[in-house]
Homo-oligomer: A and B are copies of this chain.
Amino acid sequence: MEIKPYGDTLNDGAVQISFSLPLPLSTRGKKAARELVIKMGIMDPRIVFSRDLGEGFSFYIVYGNLIHSVESEILGEDIEEEVTLDYWEINRLIEEKIGRKLVIVGATIGSDAHTVGIDAILNAKGFAGDVGLERYPSFTVHNLGSQVPPETLLEKVMDYKADVILVSQVVTQKNSHIHNLTQLVELVEGSALRDKVIMICGGPYISRELALEIGYDAGFGPHTLPAQVASFIVKRIMEDYQEGIKGCVRGERMKGRTRRVKWKNW
């Protein structure tokens, strides 16, 4: 089945587009807008609004019907949300299976000063009614705050013999988040600690995919709840523990992870 945008009738392909052009509002500007939208695959573009913005800029709002569609087959199966363990379950598992508190170090690195996101995960108060990791008896949390240079974070990880690193990145201009996050991974790898710690990043523009790609164990985006993070940590550590015993190696995507079978050796 072909899937198309829906306005008020199946397969009408209705889409809304807006953008500015570095041209004054004129017949040329409108023509350029129309041509661009046609290149995007809009059959019968209607420029419903246009405005000169001064200084040689103009703004356009366009409605039209998209010729493109996607085959519903290529969309695959719906991925089930990971089941989030609850507070009690998490604490019980750690107590029973690990038998000691896990040490977590968290920070916003680089020149990024946004702390609300990482605090939402770490501070006892938590987020949207879900308590933060500090409140879990089975975690020891060190929240280093913001503007932490990756080097400093690494030092603290060693000082505290951390099991988990939580890094937040909010500012993404000029891809500074990727730069900072990659630098941290490299430092950790450089000091041969990568297989000893779980590395998790998060922030409003972080996705799981991105995180895995740059060498983290997980990435959490907007609206993350602390329990989701705690849940991931526990599950991952349990798995690693199993694997450590079996000594087996998993595929590509688990690169960072499979090296961390020695995690209990801190």
A interface vs B, CB < 8 Å? 3-7, 10, 14-23, 26-28, 31-32, 35-36, 39-41, 46, 57, 66, 68-70, 72, 74-79, 205
Contacts and interface: CB of A to CB of B under 8 A. Distances in A.
A16 B19 contact: yes
A93 to B, nearest CB: 27
B76 A31 contact: yes
**Copies, count:** 2
22 contacts: A3-B36, A5-B20, A5-B21, A15-B17, A15-B18, A16-B18, A16-B19, A17-B17, A27-B76, A27-B79, A28-B75, A31-B75, A32-B70, A32-B72, A32-B75, A36-B68, A36-B69, A36-B70, A39-B41, A39-B68, A40-B41, A46-B205
A66 B36 contact: yes
A76 B75 CA distance: 42
A20 B14 CA distance: 8
A16 to B, nearest CB: 5
A68 B16 CA distance: 17
